[in-house]
């Protein structure tokens, strides 16, 4: 990797500053998302911004996109040439393409807006223009088929081509937000080729990612955010993986921060052989009563699919699937609940709750039978008493069970979701991102609830993108990569550093 500034073709001064961020700060209630972050981007430069979930990457992008306004600091664009101002173009993770339309149409979407909407366009000229744009970034492909049928990398290139279409000069800024999440390794190479070409033409590129290995390969400079602060801003040359991991985690390499003391475990609650479905390509899993098993892995590794496969809300096959010693191969959510499985999904709003119903109605929804007696129907008094007990136990604020679920804060919503599943002492508790979007106080309370559930004899599966959380909660952690178990960490080897390394496939010694 070279850090020298490539000369731009149209004679523009190489290395001119395109973007200058000084002391950027953003506060959310109870949480400072960005704290005095400064960043400079020069023409022809690729800067990678890395960090964990919640480190402030998304907040930074959203401020640059104008979604959020900052609470302090300045963002300045290149001013030297008022005739050709620098523009910021952002490609979000989902690319924002209309998958039923073809590449030509997708590239033209921005053009259809405004006064020109009524002017007929030339089909052939448009097609040639689209093909030309795309061929700038590697091998051409069919621009007339719906983009939904193209490979993910090709879709990324269409998004880049669209962002670039209509640039009056090359000295603009392109921000790519987690662009490689959906891509395979070979496709990543195609995308990187495109990005490098762009930078060689004089654009400034900010590349947001949490795949550390890729970043070192692509970027000229690496900026690491942690808890909203910039903790490193270094040339990618000579930076090694260990240093990068220690920047990201905040734990110095070699400094051990091991997992918790082993819990007493009992009978096998869950025993699965060769589970396959969605992103998972064959996983064996055993969980004992009282044991907390973590699942780590980057997005797309299968981490976020696993609990749904076990719960039965997504179809999956397995050679063997035993719950508390009984075979359970044909799964469905209702049957899983009947057999004593609880599932806290990662998407609280869409899957974990029914937001317009009250707290009480949400908590009792999975099991109304136990509150029902004969023709009298649901016993309102018993239901209220039971929910009041749970609300007190999990310290839900405000303690009002008739309040609509959506009106609680994130942390209290999640407490209610926990209350809903812990109400009937599940045998197996499946947790997906259990503390996503909750404040620090609620987080500790939820950790306590998970500890208690395990102590009460539940087997717990925790899938989380937060290494620190897994280290705090789990007896052992399975690290997934490409839908398979890449490593299993427990005891002294269960550290944040090791988890991050294994997750990114950076482990030096061949674990397992």
Which positions lie near other proteins, rule CB under 8 A?
28-31, 33, 53-54, 59, 311, 313, 333-334, 336-338, 343, 345, 347, 349-357, 361, 364-369, 372, 376-378, 397-398, 400, 404, 406-407, 409-411, 413, 420, 435-441, 443
State the Cα angle at 326 between 325 and 330, rounded to 5°. Answer: 140
Q: Can you state the angle between helices 410-422 and 380-393, rounded to 10 degrees? A: 120
Q: 160, 173 in Cβ contact below 8 A?
A: no
Our CB check for other proteins shows the closer of 42 and 427 to be: 427
Our CB check for other proteins shows the closer of 155 and 420 to be: 420
The least distance separating other proteins from the CB of residue 369, rounded to whole angstroms, comes to 6
The least distance separating other proteins from the CB of residue 469, rounded to whole angstroms, comes to 11
Distance between CA atoms of residues 266 and 252, nearest Å = 36
The two structure tokens encoding residue 441 = 């106080």
Our CB check for other proteins shows the closer of 115 and 375 to be: 375
Phi first, then psi: what are they for 422, rounded to 5°?
Answer: -85, -5
The least distance separating other proteins from the CB of residue 276, rounded to whole angstroms, comes to 21
Chain-centroid distance of CA 350 in Å reads 16
Residue 37: helix, strand or coil by DSSP? strand
The least distance separating other proteins from the CB of residue 33, rounded to whole angstroms, comes to 5
Our CB check for other proteins shows the closer of 29 and 238 to be: 29
| Beta bridge mates, 277 | 280
Q: 421, 344 in Cβ contact below 8 A?
A: yes
The least distance separating other proteins from the CB of residue 396, rounded to whole angstroms, comes to 11
The least distance separating other proteins from the CB of residue 172, rounded to whole angstroms, comes to 27
| Beta bridge mates, 366 | none
> What are the E-state strand segments in 262-333?
268-277, 280-288, 292-296, 320-323, 326-327
On the CB side of 439, CA atoms within 13 Å amount to 14
The least distance separating other proteins from the CB of residue 111, rounded to whole angstroms, comes to 23
Our CB check for other proteins shows the closer of 103 and 417 to be: 417
Our CB check for other proteins shows the closer of 124 and 350 to be: 350
The secondary structure of 102-138, three-state, reads EHHHHHHHHHHCCHHHHCCCCHHHHHHHHHHHHHCCC
Our CB check for other proteins shows the closer of 27 and 193 to be: 27
């Amino acid at each position: 990797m070279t850090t020298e500034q490539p000369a731009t073709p149209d004679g523009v001064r190489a290395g001119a500053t395109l973007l200058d961020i000084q002391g950027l700060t953003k506060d959310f209630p109870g949480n400072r998302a960005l704290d005095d972050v400064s960043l400079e981007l020069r023409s022809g430069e690729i800067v990678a911004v890395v960090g964990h979930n919640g480190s402030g990457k998304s907040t930074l992008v959203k401020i640059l996109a104008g979604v959020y306004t900052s609470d302090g600091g300045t963002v300045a664009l290149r001013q030297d040439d008022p005739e050709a101002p620098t523009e910021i173009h952002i490609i979000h993770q989902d690319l924002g393409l209309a998958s039923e339309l073809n590449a030509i149409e997708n590239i033209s979407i921005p053009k259809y807006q405004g006064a020109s909407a009524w002017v007929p366009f030339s089909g052939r000229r448009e097609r040639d223009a689209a093909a030309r744009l795309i061929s700038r970034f590697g091998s051409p492909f069919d621009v007339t088929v719906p983009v939904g049928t193209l490979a993910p990398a090709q879709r990324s290139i269409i998004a880049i081509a669209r962002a670039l279409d209509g640039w009056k000069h090359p000295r603009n800024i392109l921000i790519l937000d987690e662009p490689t999440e959906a891509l395979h390794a070979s496709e990543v190479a195609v995308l990187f080729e495109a990005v490098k070409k762009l930078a060689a033409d004089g654009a400034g590129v900010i590349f947001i990612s949490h795949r550390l290995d890729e970043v070192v390969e692509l970027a000229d400079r690496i900026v690491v955010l942690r808890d909203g602060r910039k903790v490193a801003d270094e040339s990618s040359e000579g930076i090694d993986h260990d240093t990068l991991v220690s920047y990201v985690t905040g734990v110095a390499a070699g400094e051990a921060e091991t997992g918790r003391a082993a819990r007493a475990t009992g009978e096998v609650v869950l025993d699965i052989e060769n589970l396959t479905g969605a992103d998972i390509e064959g996983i064996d899993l055993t969980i004992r009563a009282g044991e907390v098993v973590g699942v780590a892995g980057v997005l797309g590794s299968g981490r976020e699919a696993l609990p749904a496969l076990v719960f039965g809300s997504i179809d999956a096959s397995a050679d063997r699937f035993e719950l508390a010693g009984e075979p359970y191969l044909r799964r469905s959510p209702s049957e899983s609940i009947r057999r004593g499985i609880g599932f806290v999904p990662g998407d609280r709003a869409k899957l974990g709750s029914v937001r317009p119903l009250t707290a009480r109605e949400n908590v009792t929804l999975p099991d109304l039978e136990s509150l029902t007696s004969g023709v009298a129907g649901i016993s309102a008094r018993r239901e209220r008493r039971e929910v009041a007990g749970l609300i007190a136990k999990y310290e839900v604020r405000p303690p009002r069970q008739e309040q609509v679920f959506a009106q609680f804060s994130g942390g209290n919503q999640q407490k209610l979701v926990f209350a809903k599943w812990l109400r009937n002492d599940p045998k197996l508790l499946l947790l997906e991102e259990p503390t996503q979007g909750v404040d620090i106080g609620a987080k500790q309370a939820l950790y306590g609830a998970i500890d208690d559930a395990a102590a009460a004899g539940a087997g717990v599966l925790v899938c989380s993108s937060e290494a620190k959380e897994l280290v705090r909660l789990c007896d052992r952690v399975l690290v997934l990569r490409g839908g398979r178990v890449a490593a299993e960490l427990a005891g002294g080897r269960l550290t944040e550093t090791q988890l991050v390394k294994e997750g990114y496939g950076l482990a030096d010694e061949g674990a397992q």
